[in-house]
Amino acid sequence: MNTLKLLSAFLKVNIQMSLAYRTDTVVNILLNIMWLGWELLSLGIIFSNTETIGGWGFGELIALLGVFRLIHTLMIALIWPNTEKFNQSIRDGSMDYTLLQPINSMFLVTFSRITVWRIWDLVLAAVLIVVGLNMAGDIVTPLNLLSFLLLTVSGGVVIYSLWIVLIALTFWFTKFDNNVTILQALLDAGRYPVTVYPVWLRIIVTFIIPIAVATTIPLQALRGDLNLSRVLIFLVVGIVSFLIASQVWKAGLKRYSGASS
């Protein structure tokens, strides 16, 4: 309950902050639309030369683009702004005040900044998924839809957990302020089904920086490519990675000694 109240307070503060920069918000939305146009055009160029890539059709790739944008939004609306603030707070010692608050520090560090206008990206993503699936003509059973939704959430949790681990590393290596770049760099691999990648890249984006777990795999569930036991495994992976991440965070906090000492 407390958490929800806090979250809505964060949202309010962040809305106020973004209202101070209205023109920037408009400019950003325009740029966002421009990139969407480019993404659709690039898919169009690919599919003017072929009917399928990695066994997936045009509609399915549009739906994948939608799922990709969900994770992209997580990255850009939550991960980037909070990481920036976190790195700053490690450098100047203002992390001390965060730790003094009577709230779970992990929650506080990861949710206090939200780039609010990016939320419209989620709507866009949903539209892309629905339109894409319609174009592909796939029949979606309620069970597949349910496993898609669960796996999308679980994939998001996996990425979130990886993020926690990466920023927690800053407690050990103070100079590591490039902590999320690796995530951002590999994120683009989520635009296409991992089946098109060479094996080594597929291994990296499935097991090491598991972008695919949040993009290709939920969509595979939606298409009915995954059997029930696979779906359950990926759900467990989501839960386990979150548990590991919070342990790493706790261990990291013990290492924290403030900026001046």
Residues 6+ apart with CB under 8 A from 225: none
- Using the CB atoms, write b or e for 99-115: b if 16+ within 10 Å: eeeeeebbeebbbbbbb
Q: Determine if 167 is a binding residue for another protein (CB under 8 A).
A: no
Q: In angstroms, rounded to a whole number, what is the distance separating the alpha carbons of residues 239 and 186?
A: 22
**198 counts as binding another protein under rule CB under 8 A:** yes
The answer to the question of residue 38 lying near another protein (CB under 8 A) is yes
Give the nearer residue to another protein in terms of CB position, either 172 or 250. 172
Applying CB under 8 A, the site for another protein has a residue count of 34
> Rounded to whole angstroms, what are the CA distances from 201 to 48, 72, 190, 210?
26, 19, 12, 11
* Rounded Cα distance, 255 and 26, in Å: 42
Q: Which is nearer to another protein, 46 or 243 (CB)?
A: 46
Among 33, 103, 146, 185, binds another protein (CB under 8 A): 185
**Residue 197 in contact with another protein, rule: CB under 8 A:** yes
Q: Distance between CA 146 and CA 221 in Å, rounded?
A: 9
How many residues can be counted in the chain?
261
Among 19, 119, 130, 182, binds another protein (CB under 8 A): 182
Q: From the CB of 259, what's the least distance to another protein, in Å?
A: 19
Q: Interface with another protein by CB under 8 A: which range of 30-38, 70-78, 118-126, 222-230?
A: 30-38
Residue 175 touches another protein, criterion: CB under 8 A: yes
CB of 162 to another protein, least distance (A): 15
Whether 46 contacts 53, CB under 8 Å: yes
Considering the rule CB under 8 A, would residue 84 count as an interface residue with another protein? Answer: no
* Site for another protein contains 206 (CB under 8 A): no
Comparing CA positions, the residue from 12, 23, 32 lying closest to residue 116 is 12
DSSP-derived letter for residue 56 is B
How far is CA 38 from each of CA 7, 33, 77, 87, 196, rounded to the nearest angstrom?
Answer: 34, 9, 21, 32, 21
Token pair 């055009």: residue: 41
Please pick, from the candidates 2, 101, 134, 178, the single residue that binds another protein as defined by CB under 8 A.
178
53 binds another protein (CB under 8 A): yes
If the CB atoms of residues 210 and 238 are measured against another protein, the closer one turns out to be: 210
Q: Quick one: which of 142, 200, 229, 254 contacts another protein (CB under 8 A)?
A: 200
Binding region for another protein (CB under 8 A): 23-24, 27-28, 31, 34-35, 38, 41-42, 45-46, 49-50, 52-54, 175-176, 178, 181-182, 184-186, 188-189, 191-192, 196-198, 200-201
